[in-house]
Amino acid sequence: MRIVFKGFFYMLGLGCCLTAACNSASPEAGKDTIAGEYLFQSEGDTINMALQQQKDSVFGDLKYAFSGKDRNIGKITGLLKDSLITGEYSFVSEGVTSVRQVVFRLTEQGLVEGYGEIEESNGKMVFSDIDHLSFDHGMILKKK
């Protein structure tokens, strides 16, 4: 009985040490993640994104609600490289499912979506020249 009792406390102590080590490492590991909730709101316009991250892959929910326009609700999947998320946004608007390319720049203030000329390619809307996107429209999705 004493051996079992001592073994229990040994395992409990070991578990606490491992938990403390993991918790102390978590803040450092979390510094490089962009996972979280992001929001832009202004005068009836809303963009809401809930991102998850696994290494350089990002995915999650993305919703657009602009005043006077139909809402877009869908999923984003992409890659994070050099402070840019480049991916696809699959969404439903007016009952029609569509896919378009999206690019978000990671800044100190939050995420800023890139805009530029688009064209259709293989049933998806993609940027004509991804190297010449505009990020200066002022709609910053701030992390909650």
Per-residue pLDDT of the chain (144 residues; tens, 9 = 90+): 444 444 444 444 444 443 444 443 333 344 568 999 999 999 999 999 999 999 999 999 999 999 988 889 999 999 999 999 999 999 988 888 999 999 999 999 999 999 999 999 999 999 999 999 999 988 999 999
**What is the model's pTM?**
0.76
Rounded to whole angstroms, how far apart are CA atoms 141 and 111?
A: 5
As beta bridge partners, residue 80 has: 85
Task: Report which of 100, 105, 104, 106 is spatially closest to residue 127, judged by C-alpha positions.
Answer: 100
